[in-house]
Amino acid sequence: MVGKDQEREQDSIKDGKEESIKEEILRGTLLLFNEKGLKFTMDDIARSLKISKKTLYKVFADKEQLFLAMVDYMFDKVKESEQAVVEDGRLSTVEKIHRILGVLPEGYKDVDLKQLYLLKDKYPKIYRQVERRLETGWETTIELLERGMAEGCIRPVRIPILKMMLEASVEQFFQRDILIRNQISYQDALDEVVDILMDGIRVHG
């Protein structure tokens, strides 16, 4: 016999609301990831969100597919935050570059992203997706850097070198347990890397 909650879930999906359910699942997955790292189960997610496993598996076939979607969801939110920085007329070009290099959506400030290093060995396919997303989507940042150089507030630098330095730093966070061993949050580590890079490319005086 199908309960009322299950009927509601099934009707939601039939009514074309799968995208909103999907986003709800992804947000719930992020919270569980922050609480348990990679150790949570699909049962944990269904229980946490008070949805049936049938509904969960209708949206995501397995945990790996869910994780792949979570990676894209995270990076898509980062891109949205980047755009908000670009459109903020109160910020100078240098301030926009500084913020965009270290941007994290407000909702991720407390998410323990340093746990992502565990993906490399346990979920190599998902880790490769993290790498791909780190290496793409730089168009907005490159445009700002070029503008900064044209304005004279950023010294002339080879953008591929700067891009490689930031990517390599972040990838090290995701490849090793250096942040966990040193009890440094991902946000603090990213902020420090960006501060060092900006000190090197900003025109002083």
pTM confidence score: 0.78
User: What per-residue confidence (pLDDT) applies to 100?
Assistant: 93
Enumerate long-range contacts of 58-61, CB under 8 Å, 24 or more apart: 58/13, 59/13, 59/18, 59/21, 59/22, 59/25, 60/25
User: What per-residue confidence (pLDDT) applies to 74?
Assistant: 86
Residue 189 in tokens? 């580590």
Please state, for a pLDDT cut of 70, what percent of the chain lies above it: 86
Mean pLDDT of the chain: 85
Give tens-digit pLDDT for 20-55: 889 899 988 888 887 887 888 899 999 999 999 998
Per-residue confidence at 57, pLDDT binned at 50, 70, 90? Answer: very high
User: What per-residue confidence (pLDDT) applies to 107?
Assistant: 59
- Asked whether residue 110 carries a pLDDT value surpassing 80, the answer given is no
- Domains in the chain with CATH codes: 1-61 (1.10.10), 64-205 (1.10.357.10)
- How many C-beta atoms surround the C-beta of residue 113 within 10 A? 21
Instruction: Residue 155: name the closest of 199, 116, 118, 113 by CA.
Output: 199
Taking phi over 0 as left and psi of -120 to 50 as alpha, with beta for the rest, 118 belongs to alpha
Residue 186 in tokens? 């991902």
Give CA–CA dist 101/159, Å, rounded: 13
User: What per-residue confidence (pLDDT) applies to 106?
Assistant: 64
When comparing pLDDT for 205 and 202, which is higher?
Answer: 202
Give tens-digit pLDDT for 122-179: 888 988 898 898 888 899 999 999 999 999 999 999 999 999 999 888 888 877 788 8
Q: Is 15 helix (H, G, I), strand (E, B) or coil?
A: coil
When comparing pLDDT for 67 and 3, which is higher?
Answer: 67
- How many C-beta atoms surround the C-beta of residue 59 within 10 A? 18
